[in-house]
Amino acid sequence: MRDAQPSTIYLKDYRVPDYLIDKTSLSFHLGERSTEVTSRLTMRRNPAAETASQSLELHGAELELLSLAINGDVLPEGDWEQQGELLCIHRVPEAFELECKTRIYPQKNTSLEGLYKSSGMFCTQCEAEGFRKITYYLDRPDVMSVFDVEIIADADAYPVLLSNGNCTATETLDNGLHRSVWHDPFPKPAYLFALVAGKLSRISDSFTTMSGRDVALHIYVEEKDLDKCDHAMQSLKNAMRWDEEVYGREYDLELFNIVAVDDFNMGAMENKSLNIFNTSCVLAKPETTTDAGFQRVEGVVAHEYFHNWSGNRVTCRDWFQLSLKEGFTVFRDAEFSADMGSPTVKRVEDVTLLRTAQFAEDAGPMAHPVRPDSFIEISNFYTVTVYEKGAEVVRMIHTLLGPEPFRAGSDLYFARHDGQAVTCEDFVKAMEDASGVDLSQFRLWYSQAGTPQLSVQGDYDAQAQRYTLSVTQSCPATPGQAEKAPFHIPLKVALLGEAGQLPLQLKGQPQDTETADNTEMVLDVTEAKQQFVFENVIESPVASLLRGFSAPVKLSMNYQRADLLRIMQSDSDGFCRWDASQQLGLAEIRNALAAQAAGEAAEVAQDYLDACQQLLEDTQLDPAMVALMLQLPSEAYLAELISPVNVHAIHQAREALRKGIATALVEPLQAAYRRCASDEAYRPSAEQIARRSLKNAALSYLMYTSHGPEMAREQFETSRNMTDRSAALNAIVNSDMPYKSDALQRFYQDWQHEPLVINQWFQVQAMCRLPGTLERVVELMSHPAYDAANPNKVRALVGAFCGQNAVNFHSEDGAGYAFLADRVIELNRRNPQIASRLLGPLSKWRKYTPEVQQRMRGQLERILAEPELSSDVYEVVSKSLKD
Ligand code: TRP
Ligand code: ZN
């Protein structure tokens, strides 16, 4: 809980540590009531220290201090004092061994940070500042140490004892205890420490690295889950090979362990050689897991594995540099997933997340740069900005440098900084040094928050055969940053002619005859206003802009409707084709909103319907792309484009259009549904996933027609994979079919012993768009399968209702807001990280109409008035109320 004045930490105040810890030796006695931790730290003054102070300040939170000794001498009371989260020892020698005993209570730890218990097993989560809940330490990432760990526990209750590195000894002790000792040769910051003790089963495999070393791979789970580990294991081996082939990165120990736990605040954690995962990100089998679930497992397993280099071997100097490891690693895992499946589909999914969640964050009260300059609680900065926008920043460097120079930059970065704790600046510098590309202006992407807006106008001069792109950029103010300097924006373009892409010849730039493809180029947009003139353009082209979503910006262009239809039908860039479909869909929504306001019925434009029909009948195009292009822009995306947001009007307009599309295209939708059905054995291959996605997109449209309900029922009853079954359940739950309650009951009966499937059961109900959903959610909170201590359950029910069910969350009586505030107040003590994360939808109150704003604000004020707010909740609520 926070002290009276929660303080703000600033990047500009960074100082190197006064002391270093060369060796960390830990001993854990895991007990049923409490755990005793003994730490022996081999410490010395940092030769680079900036102060002459001889006092030592260690971090510690919620610890019971049992004893403290320096070089074997117990420290008398007056030699140290405790102030909040700091233990200050007034005078220490130049070099010494500090021995410290503490008692902690993992069984009572509900924050899931530090050492805690989940389904009977002990586990840890130390990032970012959780190690201080285990023992007193220099809990900052620039203090790196070699760890030796001894674990002592009851042999029957905790047969498996794990920590980082290699196991160097195991031993049976008296009183039913046993002991195991671990040594990790790689110096690491405390946030990468991990310990696991429990009754666990495992699947094992091995991997031979590029230099021929054998690595043992183990995935530890509860015995009942052993049949759901194969996909994670295959993903791990694919990721290990991919990192060797694409980045030249080899694994560096003989052992790599993954452990799955039920209660986990995030997706997974990259602890050195002992990754700890949320079960939702490891376990998968066709009967219980959707295609999206399979892909998430693959992506998260790869992400955590890739951290071994981008995060562990080279780590962050301080938490302001979080994107150094997260942005780079998300970029790496996105490229991996693209290579394992469909690159365009993966790109469109990532862009969708960015344009909804990240753009919203950038426009809201918690907006911050990819490298923030201040925070109250670092846990609040594991955000879509640091992760996803951070990955876009790395992607832009890749685009500006080209693949080979980027790889050279990456090699230089790892060679130069191996074993160090470094900054985003060090990363950019390595990229610059290896490539010779000047990234000085580009660095603003790290320091300026907000989403840049690009306005482009295209003009063709037939006489001069010239095509001019006039580009202006601007960026809205964000908290603490009123004015922004122009960004360096890589704008990837092509010019589409009647028969394909035209050769590009930029005025004032020598013709590049070397490259094979001169029909696509990256324009360096660097000024507030800029013109690019293309010469020898023989026909009036349609500009294909921001290809592959080459920069995380909002783009507007003076397109004609025919231009968008042409891009949608024939651009070679998949992202641009999809984006054109979204722009056309947006135009339909705007029409429907206008019609609605005038009390008229909305009609879908015939050319849009024709384009949709063409898509449905196109057997050449990837069915997954067809499915994505058939979707109207999501309500979340529309909320970023229309201001102020009227949730109900948007929902109504979108529903009316969906019905219009379904009615007009019944036959092609049915044909596509039948074409995509298959009774092949399930595989999570790109090809099968694509077919299922189109089939289920067609089903969701057909639900607006008389054919849908029977199809949904049939699919629900006969499908053997969870993708089709849960898509059918979702369709049924959102319909008025009387069958609904039977279906829900049957699903529960079938899967009551699979917690991850029950989460899906909670989630479909929480996301139901029909009236009465909040009442149902409240009822489900008392269901025996619900557990407010389990983050996955909270996310499935409360998180999904508040964050992904806009019509119901924003019900006009304000009940949704009060419900969320109640949940936040409840969780504030139990689990501050989860409480704070739930606040997202409420904190963005300023984008709604005035009456709505007032209701939302009232709930935020109610939370702020609570006593003992955690720093996590306090930061989000206070910042969102600040004017
Ligand atoms: N480093 C983890 C990742 O991105 C993130 C993480 C896992 C985390 N657990 C956490 C961050 C708990 C904060 C708190 O892979
Ligand atoms: Zn990560």
* Same domain assignment for residues 216 and 337: no
> Is residue 665 classed as helix, strand or coil in its secondary structure?
coil
* Same domain assignment for residues 595 and 536: no
* Same domain assignment for residues 64 and 200: yes
Q: Is residue 461 part of a domain?
A: yes
Name, in order, each residue with C-beta under 8 angstroms of 404's C-beta and a sequence gap of 6 or more: none
What total number of domains does the chain contain?
A: 4
In single-letter form, the type of residue at position 315 comes to: T
**Within 13 Å and on the Cβ side, how many CA atoms surround 345?**
23
Ligand nearest to the CA of 301: 1
pLDDT digits (tens, 9 = 90+) for 622-639: 999 999 999 999 999 999
Q: Is residue 299 part of a domain?
A: no
- Model pLDDT, residue 883: 83
pLDDT exceeds 70 at position 750: yes
- Whether the CB-CB separation of 656 and 597 falls below 8 Å is answered with no
Separation of CA 126 and ligand 1 centre (Å): 9
Ligand nearest to the CA of 125: 1
Q: By alpha-carbon position, which residue is closest to atom 3 of ligand 1? A: 269
- Model pLDDT, residue 515: 62
pLDDT exceeds 90 at position 137: yes
CATH number of the CATH domain containing 163: 2.60.40.1730
Q: Is residue 567 part of a domain?
A: no
**Rounded Cα distance, 34 and 636, in Å:** 46
pLDDT exceeds 60 at position 1: no
Average pLDDT over residues 205-216: 98
Name, in order, each residue with C-beta under 8 angstroms of 61's C-beta and a sequence gap of 6 or more: 85, 114, 132, 133
Backbone phi and psi for residue 600, each to the nearest 5 degrees, phi listed first:
-110, 165
Separation of CA 275 and ligand 1 centre (Å): 11
pLDDT digits (tens, 9 = 90+) for 279-298: 999 999 999 999 999 999 99
- Whether the CB-CB separation of 136 and 100 falls below 8 Å is answered with yes
* Same domain assignment for residues 611 and 705: yes
- Model pLDDT, residue 4: 59
The one-character DSSP state at 477 is -
Separation of CA 789 and ligand 1 centre (Å): 18
- Whether the CB-CB separation of 702 and 664 falls below 8 Å is answered with no
**Rounded Cα distance, 547 and 544, in Å:** 7
Mode of pairing for the β-strands spanning 274-278 and 554-557: unpaired
**Rounded Cα distance, 246 and 233, in Å:** 20
pLDDT digits (tens, 9 = 90+) for 523-569: 999 999 999 999 999 999 999 999 999 999 999 999 999 999 999 99
Mode of pairing for the β-strands spanning 214-221 and 255-261: parallel
CATH number of the CATH domain containing 681: 1.25.50.10
* Same domain assignment for residues 682 and 827: yes
End residue of a domain, out of 397, 430, 447: 447
* Same domain assignment for residues 341 and 404: yes
* Same domain assignment for residues 78 and 107: yes
Q: Is residue 857 part of a domain?
A: yes
- Owner of token pair 């854990």: 28
Separation of CA 302 and ligand 2 centre (Å): 10
Separation of CA 328 and ligand 2 centre (Å): 9
Q: By alpha-carbon position, which residue is closest to atom 14 of ligand 1? A: 127
Q: Token pair for residue 261?
A: 């736990």
**Rounded Cα distance, 698 and 665, in Å:** 10
Choosing from 129, 304, 388, 635, the catalytic residue is: 304
**Quick one: pLDDT band at residue 512, thresholds 50, 70, 90?**
low
Q: Tell me which of 265, 280, 319 to substitute to probe ligand 1's pocket, judged by most ligand atoms within 8 Å of the beta carbon.
A: 265
> Is residue 220 classed as helix, strand or coil in its secondary structure?
strand
End residue of a domain, out of 238, 259, 292: 292
| 424, 428, 433, 438: CA torsion to nearest 10 | -140
> Is residue 135 classed as helix, strand or coil in its secondary structure?
coil
Strand order in the sheet with 114-118: 114-118, 121-125, 195-198, 160-163
* Burial of 534 per CB tally in 10 Å (0-12, 13-18, 19+): buried
* Same domain assignment for residues 443 and 463: no
**Quick one: pLDDT band at residue 517, thresholds 50, 70, 90?**
confident
Q: What atom in ligand 1 is closest to the CA of residue 265? A: 12
pLDDT digits (tens, 9 = 90+) for 779-830: 999 999 999 999 999 999 999 999 999 999 999 999 999 999 999 999 999 9
Q: Tell me which of 382, 386, 870 to substitute to probe ligand 1's pocket, judged by most ligand atoms within 8 Å of the beta carbon.
A: 382
CATH number of the CATH domain containing 484: 2.60.40.1840
| 48, 51, 56, 57: CA torsion to nearest 10 | -100
Ligand nearest to the CA of 141: 1
- Model pLDDT, residue 2: 47
Mode of pairing for the β-strands spanning 521-525 and 453-461: unpaired
* Same domain assignment for residues 56 and 139: yes
- Whether the CB-CB separation of 821 and 842 falls below 8 Å is answered with yes
**Quick one: pLDDT band at residue 839, thresholds 50, 70, 90?**
very high
* Same domain assignment for residues 201 and 123: yes
Separation of CA 82 and ligand 2 centre (Å): 33
Q: What atom in ligand 1 is closest to the CA of residue 833? A: 14
Give the residue ranges of DSSP H helices in 371-474: 384, 390-401, 403-417, 424-435, 444-447
* Same domain assignment for residues 272 and 336: no
| pTM, rounded to two decimals | 0.98
The one-character DSSP state at 365 is T
- What is the domain extent for residue 245? 9-292
Ligand nearest to the CA of 276: 1
pLDDT exceeds 90 at position 838: yes
Which three-class secondary structure string do you get for 276-309? EEEHHHCCCCCCCCCHHHHHHHHHHHHHHHHCCC
Name, in order, each residue with C-beta under 8 angstroms of 66's C-beta and a sequence gap of 6 or more: 36, 101, 102, 103
End residue of a domain, out of 424, 447, 470: 447
Q: Any idea what the Cα angle at residue 682 is, between residues 679 and 683, rounded to 5°?
A: 135
Is residue 250 part of the annotated active site? The answer reads no
pLDDT exceeds 80 at position 3: no
Average pLDDT over residues 600-605: 94
Separation of CA 267 and ligand 1 centre (Å): 7
Q: Which protein residues touch ligand 1 with a CB less than 6 Å away? A: 125, 127-128, 265-266, 268-270, 303-304, 326, 379, 382
Q: What atom in ligand 1 is closest to the CA of residue 311? A: 1
Q: What atom in ligand 1 is closest to the CA of residue 378? A: 13
Q: Tell me which of 109, 125, 324, 330 to substitute to probe ligand 1's pocket, judged by most ligand atoms within 8 Å of the beta carbon.
A: 125
Q: Token pair for residue 375?
A: 């925070």
- Whether the CB-CB separation of 604 and 662 falls below 8 Å is answered with no
Cis peptide bond N-terminal to 644, omega within 30: yes
* Same domain assignment for residues 128 and 13: yes
Q: By alpha-carbon position, which residue is closest to atom 5 of ligand 1? A: 269
In single-letter form, the type of residue at position 541 comes to: P
The CA-to-CA distance between both ends of the chain, in Å, stands at: 25
**Quick one: pLDDT band at residue 510, thresholds 50, 70, 90?**
confident
